[in-house]
Amino acid sequence: MSLPVINPNGTLKGKVALVTGASRGIGEAIAARLAMEGAMVVVSARTAAEGESRLPGTLAHTVERIKAAGGHATLIKADLAQASERERLVEEAVDAYGPIDILINNAAITFFMPVIEFTEKRFKLMMEVQVYAPFHLAQLVLPSMIARKSGSIVNISSPAGLHPKPPYRGGRGGTVYGLCKAALERFTTGLASEVQADGIAVNVVSPGLVDTPGVAVHGLINEQTKDRVQPIEYIAEAVYQLAKADPQTMTGRIDYAEPLLAELSIAPTPLI
């Protein structure tokens, strides 16, 4: 098998992609996959350098990974809980590479606890980062996309957005997380219906259980779930496929990574 490489003349040549939550895990993998197809990638998160988070991974490492393979990437540190930071992020991304062609809303902050224990501060923070930030970022990039009659927005969701079904066995305190993802999915389908005629695709990808630093810190992989762990290449490939999708035939979709790739008869591409 040949080693994965950057294809400067790939299907995303000349495209500018903004990926949030890209200092590690799923966001980093998505950024790498888009860069492999020739996209100029702007990566954003709160962790730009070592020592800024208790979790491994930084924006600097993501950029280094892409550039070392011959791709184009730049980092912009931003706190998506702040409206001014979201506005600055888009402004600086456009200054760096030009108008945004692809927006990947992956950033998240998550607390797992029962509703009765959830504080207003934590509830509002989760809603701000996981629901309103994708909404606001879409508002910021859509005018240029509409003017150019081209664009793609992919929101990263989770099976937590599905309704729990009986018999109930208690939970891990994921009600607010599920609420956020359900709202994000409804936003996706609604926006897709609004902008399809403008040549813009808006879709959701949900990963399976992926071994990332965030998943590890919440203890989501255990003896009961370890057999369901999915390689990170699946989510990166699924996002890429929707990022390049024709809005006339593939928009407003809520897709899970592995079934989507099976539908398209595509195997995940090894990452740089």
Instruction: Identify the bridge partners of residue 153 per DSSP, sorted by sequence position.
Output: 103, 202
Extents of the domains making up the chain:
16-264
Each residue of 21-33: pLDDT tens digit? 999 999 999 999 9
Residues 128-157 have a mean pLDDT of 98
Residue 1 has pLDDT above 50, yes or no: no
Coil vs helix vs strand at 103: strand
The residue with greater pLDDT, 223 or 37, is 37
Does 256 qualify as catalytic in the annotation? no
Residue 177 has pLDDT above 70, yes or no: yes
Contacts of 204 (CB under 8 A, 6+ apart): 154, 155, 156, 157, 184, 185, 188, 253, 254, 255
* pLDDT given for residue 2 in this prediction: 63
Instruction: Identify the bridge partners of residue 206 per DSSP, sorted by sequence position.
Output: 256
pTM of the predicted structure, to 2 decimals: 0.93
Q: 207 falls in which pLDDT band (50, 70, 90)?
A: confident
Residue 216 has pLDDT above 50, yes or no: no
Catalytic residue among 97, 132, 168, 177: 177
Encoded tokens for 34: 């888009």
**Angle CA 225–129–66, to nearest 5:** 75
CA atoms within 13 A on the CB side of 135: 17
* pLDDT given for residue 103 in this prediction: 99
Q: Which amino acid, one-letter code, is at 169?
A: R
Q: Where are the alpha helices (DSSP H) in the chain?
A: 25-36, 59-68, 83-97, 120-127, 133-148, 175-195, 213-217, 232-243, 257-264
Q: Looking at domain 16-264, which CATH architecture does it have?
A: 3-Layer(aba) Sandwich (3.40)
Q: 220 falls in which pLDDT band (50, 70, 90)?
A: low
As a whole number, the mean pLDDT across the chain is 93
User: Contact, 89 vs 78, CB < 8 A?
Assistant: yes
- Going by the DSSP 8-state scheme, the letter that residue 270 receives in this structure is P
Residue 82 has pLDDT above 70, yes or no: yes
The span from the CA of 9 to the CA of 3, in Å, is 17
Each residue of 108-121: pLDDT tens digit? 999 999 999 999 99
Q: What percent of the chain is modeled with pLDDT above 70?
A: 92
- Going by the DSSP 8-state scheme, the letter that residue 130 receives in this structure is I
